[in-house]
Each structure stands twice: as C-alpha cells, then as structure tokens.
Structure 1
Amino acid sequence: MPASAITMDMPVEEVMRRFPSTIGVFLRHRMHCIGCAVGPFHRVDDAAAEYGLDPVALLAELRAAAAVPVQPSAMRTSACGSRTST
C-alpha cells in the first residue's frame, strides 16, 4: 500500500499497523495514540484536533514517514532476549 493511501479519515491504529514507520511521528508530537483504546476509531483528523495540530501538516508527516520502510536492522536483541530499538 502506498504512503498516499493514508487519508484524514483513516483510523490512527490502522495507520500505525500498516505503516509502522509512522509511530515516530505520533511520538514526536507526544501523542498518546500508541496502544490507545480509541485508536481503532480515532481518525487522523480527530487526533490532530485532539492535540491541537494542523491536520494537513500531520497528514504530510505521516505520509513522508510511511514512504520510508522500517529496517529490520533497526531492531536488536537485548541481553535478556527481548527486542529493543537501537
């Protein structure tokens, strides 16, 4: 699915599931969308409004992040065997 498939009316949970590289955008804006119970229902424009962000700018950031594939080498195994980001 191309990054342009992210739309204002797409639920944020779906955005993060289909495009894991977008999670960083939500974190940078200190949005609590990751793991939120409302994520399956909260759309991109809803989330932008909730956090006082420009929805057009947020959509552009999400699409830009989604265009960059997640690199498996960005994950490593810690000493206890759990996977962590580098």
Structure 2
Amino acid sequence: MKADSSCDFLSPEGNPIVGTSEKILATASISGIDPTTGKPLYFGGTEVHRDTQETLERAGKILFVCSEGNEWTFDQLVPTMNYEAELSPLPFR
C-alpha cells in the first residue's frame, strides 16, 4: 500500500524499483563440520532473525533495488511519467 504522497520510480536503466537492499541475520542449521575442509555440513533449513533487519546504505544513502536486482541510491532514480505529469502545470486556456 502506498502513502498518499508517494510516487513510483524507475532505475536509470528503466526498470521498476521493487524494494530496498537489506541485511538480516540468519542461522543455517548444520549437522557438523568437515574436519578436512572446515566447511559446514548443512542440514535442514535456515532460521531468519527478522528483528535484525537493517536497510543498507551507500555513502549514507538508502539502497533501492530494481526488478533486475541492481542497487541504486535515491538520487539515481527517475520518477515515472505519471509523477512527472502530476507536477506539470495545466496548460493555459
């Protein structure tokens, strides 16, 4: 659901912005550790610790993600045509 004052944005490549880049702690279950390689032996699922979620930033700017999986800062985004039309003054009559 969008707030009344929101608008849609595209990446500089023209792809829709679908979310923000996030860091979140998760614990993957293991059954042991390979003594030769030191690699975990994964078993079962992964528990996601949602209360650790943090929005990632680059140089203090929130990272947005486009539909192609690329990350962009807000100053790189392009407003959609609908938003630009809303900002344009009505033609003089």
Larger Rg: 2
Give the TM-score of the pair, scaled to structure 2.
0.24
More helix by share: 1
- Is the strand fraction higher in 1 or 2? 2
TM-score for both structures, normalised by structure 1: 0.25
